[in-house]
């Protein structure tokens, strides 16, 4: 006989065409009866932790989440009091303040270069690829890097700043292919160490530094996949930093994941296990932050390309697991798999978007020509 918790959860999931112990790839197979109460009490955090603990499975977690998010089930789940407490706390304080700047580097990006080398493309690009004419992950990431360079109109001898440079993939590509000098900032010690080795011999400098401590003036500024860590209270500060760093005739390219609704508290499971203090901006928040600072020259959305990118990362990660499991345990495997697949589902459901935005100071001379 089904418990009241199981019946309640079944009714809720039916709104997304998901069946408990169903036979389709996106249906949930329950392995532990404690699953029902955990999800109803703790929402997405309970669902994710139950998956990590092996209490449930689904052949296609990505498709399951595309359906759950597409049906907006999160709003129907009873709110967790702890979540409301965190909501109030984040309204009162600044969780992305300078004192917390290096936390995401320590928790996420310093997990181990072996993990990211196994999962990513050969250039180690940890942002969305551009699949317009690409057939492989390597091709998609190189196409994205070149797209950014062409949007900025890079010329030999220019000096480019990247805020949030990862392992230096863009810096290396721009220096090799376009002959520029490049400086990058990251909050990850592991990224600095490996990035410097990968860029050895090139006019590339990688610094362990918060964006608020930027020094100097640059011909162009780019930020790929870092703005998600800035936080609503700091968007205007970030834009002011870019403004003072950018030459009068230069361009600023912002590449970021975005959301369709403003939030101050991001998904609690993602916050706890993947990206502490992260939050997705909306288009309105970005444009408000740039008012009276920049002129908007171009806005390019290619959100579904992130679905393809994440599924390619998932394939690489699972293929590499027989070597990675010497260092990472089974619970980490389930956590990381869950992270990649629910993220893919979020883009498939159009809950998350991917934007590249180009700005100038006062307008681009002669008019800006969009690059696709």
User: Would you tell me the crossing angle of helices 304-324 and 330-348 to the nearest 10 degrees?
Assistant: 170
On whether both 162 and 47 belong to a single domain, the answer is no
On whether both 64 and 128 belong to a single domain, the answer is no
On whether both 67 and 104 belong to a single domain, the answer is no
Asked which of 292-296, 345-349, 365-369 is least confident by mean pLDDT, the reply is 365-369
pLDDT band at 72 (very low <50, low <70, confident <90, very high): confident
Whether 94 maps to a domain, the answer reads no
pLDDT band at 2 (very low <50, low <70, confident <90, very high): confident
On whether both 51 and 127 belong to a single domain, the answer is no
Give the bridge partners for 22, in sequence order.
none
CATH code assigned at 132: 3.40.50.150
Whether 83 maps to a domain, the answer reads no
Per-residue pLDDT for 94 more than 80?
Answer: no
On whether both 73 and 129 belong to a single domain, the answer is no
On whether both 211 and 125 belong to a single domain, the answer is yes
Per-residue pLDDT for 316 more than 90?
Answer: yes
* Domains of the chain: total: 2
Q: Is the distance from CB of 211 to CB of 241 less than 8 angstroms?
A: yes
Whether 91 maps to a domain, the answer reads no
Under DSSP, is residue 26 helix (H, G, I), strand (E, B) or coil?
coil
Whether 303 maps to a domain, the answer reads yes
On whether both 72 and 126 belong to a single domain, the answer is no
On whether both 174 and 245 belong to a single domain, the answer is yes
- Residue where a domain stops, chosen among 44, 78, 112: 78
Cite the DSSP H helix spans in the chain: 4-14, 34-52, 61-70, 81-92, 103-104, 113-119, 137-152, 169-178, 189-198, 235-245, 268-273, 283-290, 304-324, 330-348
Whether 324 maps to a domain, the answer reads yes
- Residue where a domain stops, chosen among 24, 49, 78: 78
Per-residue pLDDT for 158 more than 70?
Answer: yes
Per-residue pLDDT for 216 more than 50?
Answer: yes
Under DSSP, is residue 290 helix (H, G, I), strand (E, B) or coil?
helix
Whether 88 maps to a domain, the answer reads no
Q: Which of 78-82, 153-157, 272-276 has the highest mean pLDDT?
A: 153-157
On whether both 189 and 274 belong to a single domain, the answer is yes
Whether 366 maps to a domain, the answer reads no
Domain range holding 209? 99-360
On whether both 71 and 106 belong to a single domain, the answer is no
On whether both 172 and 258 belong to a single domain, the answer is yes
Looking at residue 75, what is its pLDDT?
64
On whether both 72 and 105 belong to a single domain, the answer is no
The model's pTM is 0.90
Share of the chain above pLDDT 70, in %: 89
């Amino acid at each position: 006989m089904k418990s009241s918790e199981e019946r309640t959860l079944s009714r809720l999931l039916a709104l997304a065409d998901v069946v408990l112990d169903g036979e389709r790839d996106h249906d949930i197979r329950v392995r532990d009866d404690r699953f029902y109460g955990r999800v109803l009490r703790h929402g997405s955090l309970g669902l994710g932790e139950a998956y990590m603990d092996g209490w449930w499975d689904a052949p296609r977690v990505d498709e399951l989440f595309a359906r759950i998010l597409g049906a907006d089930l999160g709003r129907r789940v009873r709110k967790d009091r702890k979540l409301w407490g965190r909501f109030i706390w984040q309204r009162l304080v600044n969780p992305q303040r300078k004192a917390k700047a290096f936390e995401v580097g320590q928790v996420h990006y310093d997990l181990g270069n072996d993990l990211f080398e196994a999962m990513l493309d050969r250039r180690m690009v940890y942002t969305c690829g551009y699949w317009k004419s690409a057939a492989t992950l390597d091709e998609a990431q190189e196409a994205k890097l070149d797209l950014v360079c062409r949007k900025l109109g890079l010329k030999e001898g220019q000096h480019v700043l990247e805020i949030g440079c990862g392992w230096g993939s863009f810096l290396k590509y721009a220096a090799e292919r376009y002959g520029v000098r490049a400086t990058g900032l990251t909050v990850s010690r592991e990224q600095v160490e490996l990035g410097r080795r990968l860029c050895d011999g090139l006019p590339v400098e990688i610094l362990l530094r918060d964006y608020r401590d930027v020094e100097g003036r640059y011909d162009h500024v780019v930020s790929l996949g870092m703005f998600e860590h800035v936080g609503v209270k700091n968007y205007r500060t970030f834009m002011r930093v870019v403004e003072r760093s950018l030459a009068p005739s230069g361009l600023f390219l912002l590449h970021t994941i975005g959301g369709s609704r403003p939030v101050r508290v991001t998904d609690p499971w993602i916050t706890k296990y993947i990206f502490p203090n992260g939050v997705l901006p909306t288009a309105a928040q970005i444009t408000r932050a740039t008012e009276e600072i920049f002129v908007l020259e171009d806005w390019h959305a290619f959100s579904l390309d992130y679905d393809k990118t994440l599924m390619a990362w998932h394939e690489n990660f699972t293929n590499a697991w027989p070597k990675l499991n010497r260092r990472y345990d089974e619970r980490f495997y389930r956590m990381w798999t869950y992270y990649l697949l629910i993220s893919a589902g979020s883009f498939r459901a159009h809950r998350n978007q991917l934007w590249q935005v180009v700005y100038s100071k006062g307008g681009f001379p002669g008019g800006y020509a969009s690059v696709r």
